[in-house]
Structure 1
Amino acid sequence: MNAEVFQMIITLLGGLAMFIYGMNLMSDGLQKAAGEKMQKILALLTRNPVLGVLAGALCTAVLQSSSATTVMVLGFVSAGLMKLPQAISIILGANIGTTITAQLIAFKIGDYAWLFVAIGFVLYFFLKQEKVISIGQTLFAFGLLFVGINIMGETMKPLAGSQFFVDLMMQVQDIPVLGVLLGTIMTVVVQSSSATIAVLQNLASTAGPDGISSIIGLQGALPILFGDNIGTTITALLASIGASVNAKRTAAAHVIFNMTGTFIFIWFIPWYAKFIQIISPSGPEVAVIARQIANAHMCFNIFNTILFLPLIGILVKVVTKLVPGKDSDRLPSEPIYLDYNVLERPFAAIHLAKKELSRLAGFAAGMIVSSKKAFLGNDLTAVKEVLDMEDAVNELQKKTVSYLASISSAETLTEKQASQVSGLMHVAADIEHVGDYCENIAVFAREKTKNKYEFSDSACAEIYECFDHAGRMMRDSIQALETGDHGLADDVKEQEKELNHIEVLLRKQHMKRLNEKTCSPEFTVIYTDVIHNIERIGDCCDNIANAVLDNVDFKAMDEAAN
């Protein structure tokens, strides 16, 4: 290998690296700038297949990566927040959304690349406001992306003089399967169909030996383009390893969708190329072929979506046959919703963490019921249930907090999202404390049963009322967290004040019973400790309500589990 060839390869790889870096940085900037709008996009996912396609396209347009959208969808499917037909419709939309990058490249924005870099740099590095910084990051990255494209374009020009490369391109034109294989391998290696399509657009814009025609031509570019679409499915396949059965089925549907489209279109390449030429701008081939490739990419995915949208039900049956089985039940201490693959998409990761916290809170609510049964019913089986569940709650709380901590380290986290994560960590601690107080009550119940303590009917009625009050507060605080209902959160705070008042009143009434000798003095410690632990449960519910009032609530997609 001579020095010129080596320099060409290094420069080409450098340009590609700058393109990928710029695209990823732009994705991060767009995600921060979009902020809570991403939650609204997610809300569309639960409606119907057509809106699912729209949501998938919008998410991918913001994230600038169909792979990122697909991985996020796999996380939701694996968590049970999304059904298989919904997931497939979103992936159909993601394939359309990813064509935006090729369209941007097709416009001759590269001439202004350094202008975007300069403006973006000023906004990104010198201004303080988070929203402006995000916009600056997006512009700066947008410019870098085109700087990378310009580098690749300049590097590829000498290829026209290489007879070996010209002969290779002729083989791709004559043997479409070779082009499909080349495109697939390129995308698998680079892990970005947008990057490989950008390379393809630059390559096709390079003039051949005659100095007029493209070195590869549209018919030669189409098979590589189809291969790029197949190669992008590898990310979803890798992400589905170790995921739920439905997540594996979703990844399989992605592969089937893109491979079927390629299999259909590969037989009609000459006619498809003519159609694309008709709908694209006219002019010298090397001047318009980048736009033709972008249009071919978009039309390919739109046609495929139109074809598969009415057949989603059939596709579900096919992937169910291909990937049989069902998910095994998980232990209470094992997370259901947490997915580390989506950490770089904080709006999605936070939603999954909130769902896990809701599940954790449900366990704590069940512990309140069991501790009530244990204490008032002298039920040692219920005592064991509480103690066993306490271990599970502690373990699950640790895993959820660890996940939240991982979200905190995401580069795409906004200030508001960081505040939400911090609030959820406090919520996790309060839920775990509820479990601790229930454990205390279960221990008291065991002592009460062992020593055969008999409380008066009035004392039992008072404790029964306290348990019901705390249980209602726990249910309301969970609902407030899930729905973001500030009115319900305010109601929980009022209930907490009432519970504080009840504790003071019950202590006085117990002292009155002691004076009247209707209760035994040895029961006093257990009685006061039980009502105090119940009151502390109310304090935890009050803290959760405060978190909701501080806007630690996430409404999008809650109905997806239905």
Structure 2
Amino acid sequence: MDIDVQSLIFDFIGGIGIFLLGIKFMGDGLQRSAGDRLRDILDRFTSNPFLGVLAGIVVTLLIQSSSGTTVLTVGLVSAGFMTLRQAIGVIMGANIGTTATAFIIGIDIGEYALPILAVGSFLIIFFSNQKVTAIGQALFGFGALFFGLELMSSGMSPLRTLDSFHELTVSMSETPILGVVIGTVFTMVVQSSTATIGILQGLMSEGAIKLDAAIPVLIGDNLGTTITAIIASLGASIAAKRAALTHVVFNIIGVVIFMILLSPFISFVTYLQEQLSLNPSMTIAVAHGSYNIMNTAIQFPFIGALAWIVTKLIPGEDMVIEYKPQHLDPIVINKSSSLALEQAKLEVLRMGDFAYKGLEETLKYAQTLDTKHSEMASQVEGAINNLDRKITEYLVAISAESMTKWERDKHTLLMDSVRDIERIGDHFENITELIDYRISNKVDLTDQAMDDLNSMFDLTLLTVKQSIECLDNRDKELALEVIRKEEQIDQMV
């Protein structure tokens, strides 16, 4: 039988393109329709590693990408939102959550792909309500996922008659490590383990590959998916690098364990296939789910050891921004409004220190154009936003209690200060965006312009520092000095 190579290649690459677009659209749509509360989910439900696993599963189900969850986790560890041990639980959960797409694919509804695409398109085009368009986007992605899969499957169906491909699958059966390498490399290239699993499901459905050749590829694909987290951690903090390395170590250990237990694992999946009368696509989904659940169950008791290993592999002290408030004790509110206000003041001063740090990093970014400074400024801005929310909630709770006139005045002052410090965060974020624009559009500043900017930055930094001191010490003379400096800054503008 002659094979139309061009059609095979075009159907395959077109199908995988639509498939990847479908996954992205579905994840983005689900994320938008569920509300952008992923950071809150991870922040709130990672108090212990077990809850971290559950949080990792939930977030990955929402965004349909284990790599996305891992990258988000790397960012949160770097930002001080969670410890390395908590992050390991989330990464384990992400590996389980990503298997959901394979189960969705296993339910054979490919013939309804085009109507689903149409419904999604209509919701996006004809409705202005954001919630409806987000659901439309998720549906469009859902349909595109199946349509892309159908294209891939039809493109790959001639492969079963190709002798060289048959020999390759036999080689993968006889030399499983070859399948692991193929799965790893392909997933690294497309940066989606779901795509590799989708292709395996397509090949199994067409009878082009047998289970004992598919499972090593499936195991390799879990290793390949770590590349996204590694890329995300390049140039990031030590904590971020450790979180990314944890993802790699966790998956390498999983590959080693299951390559040793390959025969029993294949027998187990074959048994489930026979007992549950699974179709080929669902068999791959069950194998993928079983692999990740078992791998997590085996390694979960050793989270502490994993954290120790990556800390030894990447030594050093890490500078992390501590997002969470340190002084806001809710118990104090009922006991003493005065003491609670003092607690709030300490947190506002800490927030002010963050504003100074963020401005400092922004100046360094303007001077060096080194993105590590913009990343640090972005983390600081995130910390300021979080503290703004937490301090405001705390002050609102205090306002429900009875206060003296002096306490009410202090309460108003702190409320205003929180709002003003938060605006500093917004301003240096805007400045980093302007520097990004300058880099991307190759805008050069003269030495004189840079000198003027540096002078203005230095004066602003000093003014912010003195403002925080004024708030701390209630220093009227220093406050008047700050006002004079503000007038100087106006003249420089």
Same-fold call, TM > 0.5?
yes
Matched, 1:107 2:107: yes
**Shift in CA distance, 114/334, structure 1 to aligned 2, threshold 3 Å:** same
Matched, 1:314 2:305: yes
Give, in angstroms, the shift of residue 145 of structure 1.
Answer: 0.9
Tell me what 1:242 maps to: 235
CA RMSD of aligned residues (A): 4.1
Would you say the 8 A contact 2:238–2:316 is kept in 1?
yes
Structure 2 regions of 5+ residues with no counterpart? 322-355, 390-421, 437-455, 487-493
Tell me what 1:193 maps to: 193
Give, in angstroms, the shift of residue 355 of structure 1.
Answer: 0.7
Letter in 2 for 1:247: A
Give, in angstroms, the shift of residue 168 of structure 1.
Answer: 1.0
**Shift in CA distance, 35/283, structure 1 to aligned 2, threshold 3 Å:** closer
**Shift in CA distance, 530/274, structure 1 to aligned 2, threshold 3 Å:** same
Tell me what 1:334 maps to: 361
1:197-230 C-alpha deviation (Å, 9 max, x unpaired): 10111011112xxxxxxx3211111000000000
Letter in 2 for 1:83: T
In the aligned structure 1, how far is the partner of 2:469 from the partner of 2:7?
Answer: 76
Mapping of 1:10-409 within 5 angstroms? 10-207=10-207, 215-280=208-273, 288-327=279-318, 332=357, 333-334=360-361, 353-356=381-384, 399-402=428-431
In the aligned structure 1, how far is the partner of 2:34 from the partner of 2:432?
Answer: 23
Give me the identity figure in percent. 39
Of 476, 480, 486, the match for 1:530? 480
1:332-361 C-alpha deviation (Å, 9 max, x unpaired): 3227xx9999x9xxxxx9987331457899
In the aligned structure 1, how far is the partner of 2:423 from the partner of 2:378?
Answer: 20
Letter in 2 for 1:439: T
In the aligned structure 1, how far is the partner of 2:173 from the partner of 2:58?
Answer: 34
Would you say the 8 A contact 1:16–1:148 is kept in 2?
yes
**Shift in CA distance, 281/437, structure 1 to aligned 2, threshold 3 Å:** same
In the aligned structure 2, how far is the partner of 1:109 from the partner of 1:83?
Answer: 41
TM-score, normalization by structure 1:
0.62
In the aligned structure 1, how far is the partner of 2:435 from the partner of 2:93?
Answer: 29
Tell me what 2:329 maps to: none
In the aligned structure 1, how far is the partner of 2:107 from the partner of 2:305?
Answer: 39
Give, in angstroms, the shift of residue 267 of structure 1.
Answer: 2.4
Letter in 2 for 1:148: G
Give, in angstroms, the shift of residue 51 of structure 1.
Answer: 0.6
TM-score, normalization by structure 2:
0.70
SS in 2 for 1:128: coil
Give, in angstroms, the shift of residue 171 of structure 1.
Answer: 0.7
In the aligned structure 1, how far is the partner of 2:65 from the partner of 2:98?
Answer: 6
Would you say the 8 A contact 2:43–2:82 is kept in 1?
no
Would you say the 8 A contact 1:96–1:302 is kept in 2?
yes
Would you say the 8 A contact 1:124–1:133 is kept in 2?
yes
Give, in angstroms, the shift of residue 398 of structure 1.
Answer: 5.3
SS in 1 for 2:361: coil
In the aligned structure 2, how far is the partner of 1:188 from the partner of 1:303?
Answer: 23
Would you say the 8 A contact 2:79–2:379 is kept in 1?
no
Larger gyration radius, structure 1 or structure 2: 1
Letter in 1 for 2:27: S
In the aligned structure 1, how far is the partner of 2:105 from the partner of 2:210?
Answer: 18
Would you say the 8 A contact 2:29–2:138 is kept in 1?
yes
Give, in angstroms, the shift of residue 247 of structure 1.
Answer: 1.4
**Shift in CA distance, 20/273, structure 1 to aligned 2, threshold 3 Å:** same
1:379-437 C-alpha deviation (Å, 9 max, x unpaired): xxxxxxxxxxxxxx999875423467899xxxxxxxxxxxxxxxxxxxxxxxx99x959
- Count of matched residue positions in the alignment of Structure 1 and Structure 2: 389
Letter in 2 for 1:310: P
**Shift in CA distance, 168/137, structure 1 to aligned 2, threshold 3 Å:** same
Would you say the 8 A contact 1:45–1:90 is kept in 2?
no
Give, in angstroms, the shift of residue 59 of structure 1.
Answer: 0.8
Give, in angstroms, the shift of residue 309 of structure 1.
Answer: 1.4
1:53-80 C-alpha deviation (Å, 9 max, x unpaired): 0111111111111111111111111122
Give, in angstroms, the shift of residue 43 of structure 1.
Answer: 3.4
**Shift in CA distance, 403/3, structure 1 to aligned 2, threshold 3 Å:** farther
SS in 1 for 2:300: helix
Matched, 1:439 2:484: no
Give, in angstroms, the shift of residue 3 of structure 1.
Answer: 8.4
In the aligned structure 2, how far is the partner of 1:114 from the partner of 1:248?
Answer: 42
SS in 1 for 2:69: helix
Letter in 2 for 1:275: F
In the aligned structure 2, how far is the partner of 1:190 from the partner of 1:222?
Answer: 19
**Shift in CA distance, 206/340, structure 1 to aligned 2, threshold 3 Å:** farther
In the aligned structure 2, how far is the partner of 1:352 from the partner of 1:294?
Answer: 41
Give, in angstroms, the shift of residue 290 of structure 1.
Answer: 1.2
1:79-138 C-alpha deviation (Å, 9 max, x unpaired): 222211011111000001111111111110212111211111111110111100100111
In the aligned structure 1, how far is the partner of 2:273 from the partner of 2:15?
Answer: 27
In the aligned structure 1, how far is the partner of 2:297 from the partner of 2:264?
Answer: 19
